[in-house]
Amino acid sequence: MAQLIRIDWPDFGTPDLPPDLTLPEMEARLAAFRRVGALAGHEVLVVYGDREHSANLHWLTGFDPRFEEAVLVVTPDDALLLAGNECLPYTGISPLVQSGAIGVGHCSSLSLPSQPRGGRGLASWLDQIVPAGASVGVAGWKWFEAGELPPGADPALALDVPAFLADPLRARAGRVANATPLLMHPAYGLRARVDAAEIARLEFSNHMAAKALRRMVFSLREGMRDFEAFEAARVGGLPLGCHPTFATGSRAEQGLSGPTGEVLRLGSPISFNICHWGSNICRAGWLALGPGDLPVAAQDYLEAFVLPYVAAMSDWCALMQPGVSGGAVWQAMQDALPFARFGITLNPGHLIGLDEWMSSPIAEGSEVPLASGMAMQMDVIPGHATYGSTRMEDGYVLADAGLRAALVQGFPEVAARIAARSRFMREVIGMEVPETLLPLADTCGIVAPWLLDPAQVVAL
């Protein structure tokens, strides 16, 4: 029998700073990218990045463009990182740039409008490093299905990068194809699996986001403005993985809205998140002390909407084991949370990295198996015209015995905090959490439906 219990939200300790990216890690990533590119038939690999789409470039180099675009060109024996006026000095953050494994070129065309131009243009740089007629694979941030393109178009050749890069590449090369799946595809993408060091980095990010969200939740008061609530979060300064959201009042149905000056009013639905690179902690509920504060039609919100959702999230956790197909997870969530009431339109869970949404093995009919090393976001988003929403959105990693042992050996304190979170979810909340699922945030398992009294949480 599900119920509300009153607890202090758990605090399992503050992680130490996670390890920096090391040169051996980055050398291994670049070598792996060259290897899978060659197996796919690409003689040259080109990676595009900008402020919104920097995860692939950062994963390969440790550098992310700020304000500008950047381009990495990788051949079997060379690598060149092109940056604009402001990013050029910042390329030195890359261990591979520091070691000389990646060269750097200044391309002012990648800079902001009206800034000084001059020097070599992008086409000139590409002519230097891309052999004429070569087969080139280009990685942006997405790939395409046949139904998305005009009739007869080949999805393998559809690029998701700006024309100022695609055009000179097509003029210079022979075949230019989309290589983004090599990095991001849930079944085989290089970024779709993490190791013990990455788990430590992800846990730190989830901790920072969860602590900020907790501070914000416990600051919520009737009559305050959303600006005040967000200020109370005291976001610590890690790079944001997406725009902060805070939707209530007239913005309640605009889930991606940030703070705009809305006043928090009793009996209003609300949703909000804190998202850093590698984490997105999100909650939704009502600005209320109990069901009597809700509109009459929504006063069975807890029984009709929240409790079935939390039970379904327990089922979701139980399925997070290597070998379970993504299609099986999708179907289980459809069965537990029927669309007519819960209105879930997106994939019930996805991979997360520096980009908040990398890709997902979970989709209707997906035969992609869940795998050890998948950093998985519990992102199951219900919505209803009367009940609003509820949310238990946090980060996890799937880990087999080998990966769990590597985590214990390399990062014992991280492993201990993860074990404590698992016990909390099982023993206090009553969720089914297999040993293969590693919760990364102290908020994992917590749903507080009445957000003016967040010590009331759901237990199964």
| Mean pLDDT of all residues in 250-264 | 90
Does the pLDDT of residue 2 top 90, yes or no? no
Percentage of residues in the chain with pLDDT exceeding 70? Answer: 100
Work out the percent of the chain whose per-residue pLDDT is above 90. Answer: 96
* Residue 304 confidence (pLDDT) above 90: yes
Q: What is the average pLDDT across 213-242?
A: 96
* b/e per residue 15-30 (b: at least 16 CB within 10 A): beebeebeeebbeebb
pLDDT confidence of residue 255: 82
| Across 45-62, average pLDDT | 97
C-beta separation of 440 from 420 below 8 A: no
Q: How high is the pLDDT of residue 1?
A: 59
pLDDT the model gives residue 48: 98
**Superfamily classification of domain 3-16+192-459:** Creatinase/methionine aminopeptidase superfamily (3.90.230.10)
Mean pLDDT, the chain, as a whole number?
Answer: 97
How is domain 41-178 classified at the architecture level of CATH? 3-Layer(aba) Sandwich (3.40)
Q: Give the Cβ contact number of residue 336 at 10 Å.
A: 18
Region 257-261: what's the mean pLDDT? 92
- Residue-wise pLDDT for 101-148, tens only, equals 999 999 999 999 999 998 999 999 999 999 999 999 999 999 999 899
Check residue 360 and give its pLDDT.
Answer: 98
Parse the chain into domains and list their residue ranges: 3-16+192-459, 41-178
| Per-residue model confidence (pLDDT) at position 252 | 87
CA 19 centroid distance within chain = 20
pLDDT band at 267 (very low <50, low <70, confident <90, very high): very high
